[in-house]
Each structure stands twice: as structure tokens, then as C-alpha cells.
Amino acid sequence: MSRRAFASPADREELRKKRLRLAVIAVIGAAVIFTALWYTLENPFSQTFGTTVTQVPLQQKVVALTFDDGPNPPYTDRIVEYLHSQHVVATFFVVGMAVAAHPDIVRKEVAYDDALGNHTWDHAHLVLERSAHIEREIAQTDAIIFRTTGVHSRIFRPPFGARDFAVLKVAHRMGYTVVMWSVPLPGDWKHPAPALISRRVLKYVSDGSIIVLHDGNRGRGGNRESTVAATQLIVTALKHDGYRFVTVPELLAMGYGKGKRQPLGEPYE
């Protein structure tokens, strides 16, 4: 007969409470570990694994508007045409397979003086991947960008913002500056009201900010009606406040130009 059979009701209740306390401690511990992992892997401001750019130190009202996950017709087309009509430039971090599927949109972006960034071939999560796989994701995307536009991009944004030592080491070795963002993601991919997306962005904009919106869904299409409308609200509000829009390479050149310390990657002339 086990010792448990002789336990009094009070002892059994105490044992139950002890197990409950241990379970609560385990849950809290897991939450702490998860939060720490998120901070180091996906938080744009973390520099744990190496140098990235989140915001450029400037004392003038300029911002860089960026879009991830495209091109994605018809939404990317509408964004590009609207920005061009407002004499506003942006930076599109494109997914290689989407470039292959919709090359004319990317050519238009370049023709309209927008900048291109590398966002991998298929929006792969690169954390814990082998260096050879990371390099292939980046190189394959660069190749299709160059074949399509004649342009080699030298800015890279890892999907989900997720990076570890290998991701940054490979990107830097390949000559890329890794560009994150300073304005918290507004969740535009979840289709909130355009006004809500706009408010979430405008609340955090300051000199040298980098803003992220999503014109696609991991290179696989998706409805981006809310993002199109929010883009118009954001541009209108920031222009009214005296902000000027520049591409990410232009922003980097302003902050890290000649004689200034610059992040890893190609020089900005």
C-alpha cells in the first residue's frame, strides 16, 4: 500500500496546492523565456546578434516608408501609383518568387525612383537555418531583382524581423545592411480599419523613422485594401506635419554619409 493512501485530507490538499504552485511557476518561467527569445530574435531594437538599423539619427523631418512581402497586384500597383502622384518615394522589400511572378510592378517601382530591398525568396524564417540556406535565399532574390530591373539591392530585411548570429553574419558578409524598423508594426496584415492603422503609425513617427506596412502576404498575394487606404492617410498626415519621404538608401546616406560611422554593409555615398 502506498504512502499516499495514508495521507490525511489536509496533507492531500497541501500536496495539491504545491503542485498548483509549481505549475504556475512553470507557466511564468515559460512566459519569461518566450519573451526573452522574442526580444532577442524579433524585436527590431535588439542588437544581441549583431548590427541592424532601426532608425537613423537625424534632426530633420524625414521618414522612410517601407513595404514588405510584395509585389502583390493590384494592391502594390495602387500604392505605387498613389505615391508617385504625391511625389513620394518608398522602399519595397520584395519577395523573390513574387518578383518572378509580377516583374512589371517591380520595374515600375524602380522607374518611379522607389528603392528595392531583399526580403528572401519565399519569406522563409531564417533563424536556426544553415548559413548556406540563408545565403541561397538572399542570393536567389538578388538575382531575380537584378534580372528584372538591372539593380542590385544592398539592403536586407529578414522575414518577421527574425535573425540570429548566422543570419546577420551571412547578410553582412554579402554586403547587405540589415534594416529593421522604428515604428511598431501596425498589424495592417490583419485588416483593421485604415484609420486605426494610420493612428498606430503616426503615434510613433519621429525624425529618421522607418515605417513598415505590408503590400503582400509573404509573397503569396492577399487582400491589402486596408493598407492601400492607410497609406494615403499616413502620407497625407505626415506631409501636413512637414515630413519629407526618402528611400531607405537615401535615409542611410543622410545619417551615415561621408565621415560618419555607418552600419555594416555597402558604403552610402
Rounded to the nearest 10 degrees, the angle between the axes of helix 225-240 and helix 75-85 is 20
- Tens digit of each residue's pLDDT (9 = 90 or more) over 165-203: 999 999 999 999 999 999 999 999 999 999 999 999 999
Give residue 265's pLDDT: 53
Question: Residues 198, 247: one domain?
Answer: yes
Give residue 178's pLDDT: 97
The residue from 69, 77, 214, 215 that is catalytic is 214
The residue from 68, 69, 114, 142 that is catalytic is 68
E strands of 55-195, at which residues? 62-68, 91-94, 115-118, 155-156, 177-178
What confidence category does residue 259 fall into, taking pLDDT thresholds of 50, 70 and 90?
A: very low
Query: Is 70 strand, coil or helix?
Result: coil
Is position 68 annotated as part of the catalytic site? yes
Give residue 220's pLDDT: 84
Please provide the average confidence, as pLDDT, over all residues in the chain: 89
CATH code at position 151 = 3.20.20.370
Residue 209, domain extent: 62-255
Question: Residues 83, 204: one domain?
Answer: yes
Give the whole-angstrom CA distance, residue 228 versus residue 153: 24
Query: Is 67 strand, coil or helix?
Result: strand
- Tens digit of each residue's pLDDT (9 = 90 or more) over 4-32: 556 677 766 666 766 767 666 666 655 55
Question: Residues 175, 239: one domain?
Answer: yes
Question: Residues 143, 32: one domain?
Answer: no
- Tens digit of each residue's pLDDT (9 = 90 or more) over 212-234: 999 999 888 899 999 999 999 99
Give the whole-angstrom CA distance, residue 130 versus residue 166: 8
Is position 87 annotated as part of the catalytic site? no
Question: Residues 141, 34: one domain?
Answer: no
More confident residue, 255 or 2: 255
